[in-house]
Amino acid sequence: MEVDDRDKQQFLELQNKMMDNSQKLRNVVQQERLIISSGKRASLTAEELGPMPEDAKLYESIGRAYFLMPKAKLMEELGEQQQTCRAEIRKAAEAKQGYERAIKGVESELRELLQNSPQLAKAVSTGAGF
């Protein structure tokens, strides 16, 4: 028996959608890790600078250069960076949940398609080309 062309097309579309959502999920997870790392770095830096005297000479790295920065200004920037990281982590987590839901939806569509088309299921399970 030959696999229906419509089923083949639908299977390929779902497969592409699954790969696309999986790639987007991996990207969001990687982005989330980078944001977490940046937030931890800002937190640890602020923690280390906390006990230093207010008149200590502190420098901020901007590109390849270092600029003298008052402690209060540097601590303020670190606090803002921490807040920004927390907000970005929330956004990344929401995006991650969205992609996970999309992947589950595509999985259920694939499962349903394979249940409704035994020829397609057989072709997929044996690894035979369409």
pLDDT in tens, the chain (130 residues): 577 888 889 999 999 999 999 999 999 999 999 999 999 999 999 999 999 999 999 999 889 999 999 999 999 999 999 999 999 999 999 999 999 999 999 999 999 998 988 888 888 888 766 6
Residues 6 or more apart from 1 whose CB is under 8 A from it?
A: 119
> Structural domains in the chain?
24-118 (1.10.287.370)
Single pTM value for the model: 0.80
Q: What is the pLDDT of residue 116?
A: 87
* DSSP state string for 29-92: HHHHHHHHHHHHHHHHHHHHHTTS-TT--EEEEETTEEEEE-HHHHHHHHHHHHHHHHHHHHHH
